[in-house]
Amino acid sequence: MQTFVLKNGIRIIHQEAKSPVSHFGVLINTGSRDEEANEQGIAHFIEHVIFKGTQKRRAFHILNRIEDVGGELNAYTTKEETAVYATFLSEYYQRSMDLISDILINSTFPSKELELEKEVVIEEINSYKDNPSELIFDEFEEILFDGHPIARNILGTPELIKTFSKNSILKFMDENYHTDQIVLSSVGNISMTKFIHLAEKFFGEIPEKIRTKKRLDLYNYKPETRIIQKDTFQAHCIVGNLAPTIFSPKRMQMVLLNNILGGASMNSRLNMVLRERNGMAYNVESGYTGYFDTGEFSVYFGTDKENMEQALRLVNKEFRKIKEQPMGILQLSRAKKQLIGQLAISTENREDLMLSIGKSYLFFDRVDTLETIFKKIEAIGCAEILEIANEILDEPQSSTLIYQ
């Protein structure tokens, strides 16, 4: 894995892979938390409309430029980052990098296309509102981060989406897209020398712009329990708390604790107690997200309305167990091996790897090797899991949101 910095401050990272398929992406340290109150949804809207025309390409030509040669063009927006990326046959590196630079630098945002895409995004919002198992996560973040930009959902509101114009888009990009906050990430069959050459050709002429705008500090968190009546077949519940930031020395302990409680494996503690032993839930999961200056841990499950109270008691019982009963050495060893295996397997997906190393370089200015990550996991002791569990799973400090 090799890195380089262009003269304008854009960082690049590349891992050579002898494969007929390659992956390239641009990651920007800007997301929905960087929006002003009257801009809610604009970061995500930009992700949509950058594909709608440039100074030399119409929307039709943009979509076909990669797809005509069997590739895929995609993008996403989170609370803190935006990414535009492509997967393609390795012979089309130049074509892919040319296209992505064009849509990021030269998009013209035609008014007719903006109006059409507003309707698309509003339909996306309506679809999401019809799905309580998705909606509950955003409403829970509104409780955790009440009053802070992180609390606002990424999609925005139909009322605000309708107000966006070319000028408001250009204003947001000018204020938030900085060259020192951009990473070009690549995993594929090209030499680092050639990749640097292409990066300089397509991204090197962007004027240097250094971030000076500071993100708002998090306000004081107040735990809350909220029950909302919904016309749904199932009851939905999410319970959680603030958690370590992405820069916290406790971050890896939090990742391991999350995996033990409700990670991807079927033998997670919460899946075993709710689904396997009691048949109360089809889906139960926990999640940990570290942000720049805060973090979030949550457990979600859906169950029959008459089982809600009992299911929540079982979840809290598991919380108490992991807070009060130190894990045995063998138990902890198995948990570590499981997480290490999952991380190793995830690197086999080279598109995910490209996005992962890009994000790591974007936020940490480094990428730890798998060996380094595994050593950090192996170094976690039983007392550290007990400590982070008591910090995060403190019932009086937890918030709960229930749809029933």
Q: What is the rounded CA–CA span in Å between residue 14 and residue 358?
A: 9
Q: Are residue 318 and residue 353 in the same domain, yes or no?
A: yes
What per-residue confidence (pLDDT) applies to 183?
Answer: 98
- Residue 235, strand partner residues: 303
Q: What is the rounded CA–CA span in Å between residue 227 and residue 400?
A: 8
Cβ(366)–Cβ(360) under 8 Å? Answer: yes
Question: Residue 155: helix, strand or coil by DSSP?
Answer: coil
Banded pLDDT at 215 (limits 50, 70, 90): confident
Task: Please give the average per-residue pLDDT across 247-271, as a whole number.
Answer: 93
Banded pLDDT at 289 (limits 50, 70, 90): very high
Q: Are residue 265 and residue 364 in the same domain, yes or no?
A: yes
In a domain, 215, yes or no: no
What per-residue confidence (pLDDT) applies to 247?
Answer: 95
Tens digit of each residue's pLDDT (9 = 90 or more) over 353-377: 999 999 999 999 999 999 999 999 9
Q: Are residue 158 and residue 27 in the same domain, yes or no?
A: yes
Looking up tokens 């935006």 gives: 82
Measured in residues, the chain has a length of 404
Banded pLDDT at 217 (limits 50, 70, 90): confident
What per-residue confidence (pLDDT) applies to 175?
Answer: 93
In a domain, 302, yes or no: yes
Q: Are residue 230 and residue 113 in the same domain, yes or no?
A: no
Banded pLDDT at 264 (limits 50, 70, 90): confident
What per-residue confidence (pLDDT) applies to 129?
Answer: 82
Q: Are residue 233 and residue 379 in the same domain, yes or no?
A: yes
Tens digit of each residue's pLDDT (9 = 90 or more) over 63-79: 888 888 889 999 999 99
Task: Please give the average per-residue pLDDT across 375-380, as a whole number.
Answer: 96
Task: Please give the average per-residue pLDDT across 249-270, as a whole number.
Answer: 93
Q: Are residue 155 and residue 231 in the same domain, yes or no?
A: no
In a domain, 301, yes or no: yes
Tens digit of each residue's pLDDT (9 = 90 or more) over 307-360: 999 999 999 999 999 999 999 999 999 999 999 999 999 888 999 999 999 999
Question: Residue 109: helix, strand or coil by DSSP?
Answer: coil
Range of the domain at 352: 225-403
Q: Are residue 264 and residue 170 in the same domain, yes or no?
A: no
In the chain, % of residues over pLDDT 70: 100
Does residue 22 register a pLDDT over 90?
A: yes
Question: Residue 372: helix, strand or coil by DSSP?
Answer: helix
Predicted TM-score (pTM) of the model is: 0.90
| Other C-beta atoms lying within 10 Å of the C-beta of residue 350 | 17
Q: Are residue 49 and residue 147 in the same domain, yes or no?
A: yes
Tens digit of each residue's pLDDT (9 = 90 or more) over 114-160: 999 999 999 999 988 888 888 999 999 999 999 899 999 999 999 99
Q: What is the rounded CA–CA span in Å between residue 198 and residue 294?
A: 36
Banded pLDDT at 233 (limits 50, 70, 90): confident
Does residue 218 register a pLDDT over 80?
A: no
Question: Residue 226: helix, strand or coil by DSSP?
Answer: strand
Q: Are residue 264 and residue 380 in the same domain, yes or no?
A: yes
What per-residue confidence (pLDDT) applies to 213?
Answer: 84
What per-residue confidence (pLDDT) applies to 254?
Answer: 97
In a domain, 218, yes or no: no
Task: Please give the average per-residue pLDDT across 283-308, as a whole number.
Answer: 93
Boundary of a domain, candidates 203, 233, 256 = 203
In a domain, 213, yes or no: no
Q: Are residue 181 and residue 274 in the same domain, yes or no?
A: no
**DSSP at 379:** T
Task: Please give the average per-residue pLDDT across 83-93, as a whole number.
Answer: 96
Q: Are residue 331 and residue 391 in the same domain, yes or no?
A: yes
CATH number, position 341: 3.30.830.10
Q: What is the mean pLDDT of the chain?
A: 93
In a domain, 216, yes or no: no
Residue 389 CA, distance from chain mean position: 23
In a domain, 220, yes or no: no
What per-residue confidence (pLDDT) applies to 155?
Answer: 94
Task: Please give the average per-residue pLDDT across 274-286, as a whole number.
Answer: 90
Q: What is the rounded CA–CA span in Å between residue 190 and residue 90?
A: 8
Instruction: Work out how many domains the chain is built from and give that number.
Output: 2
Q: Are residue 159 and residue 242 in the same domain, yes or no?
A: no
Tens digit of each residue's pLDDT (9 = 90 or more) over 32-42: 999 999 999 99
C-alpha distances out from residue 180 to 4, 32, 176, 225, Å: 13, 19, 11, 41
In a domain, 264, yes or no: yes
